[in-house]
Amino acid sequence: MEGAPSRLLPFVPPGPVQASPPPEPVHLNCLLFLHRLAEEARIRAFQDKRRIIKDKHIIASGKVILKKSKG
């Protein structure tokens, strides 16, 4: 069996996985950023008289949000 998955991937013995959840302020900041991005993208799509938010609306909105956050 050439190229079998067992030969491609190294064996990792099972064990407990310890992953701590992200700090609450980081999670909240991420949610607030996504909410602002969604609002701004919706406004951009509305200005272009589009019903669907496209990637160009999201990119333009991200640039505006980053400029506002810098001050």
| Cα 30 from chain centroid (whole Å) | 9
> Could you give the angle at which helices 55-70 and 24-47 cross, rounded to 10 degrees?
120
In angstroms, the CA 41 to CA 16 distance is: 42
Residue-wise pLDDT for 2-60, tens only, equals: 555 556 767 777 887 777 777 788 888 889 999 999 999 999 999 999 999 999 999 99
Q: Which backbone phi and psi does 17 adopt, to 5 degrees?
A: -105, 120
Question: What top-level class would CATH report for the domain 22-70?
Answer: mainly alpha
Q: Where are the domains of the chain?
A: 22-70
Is 53 within 8 Å of 41 (Cβ atoms)?
A: yes
pLDDT, residue 39, reads 95
Higher-pLDDT residue of 65 and 14 is 65
Is 44 within 8 Å of 61 (Cβ atoms)?
A: yes
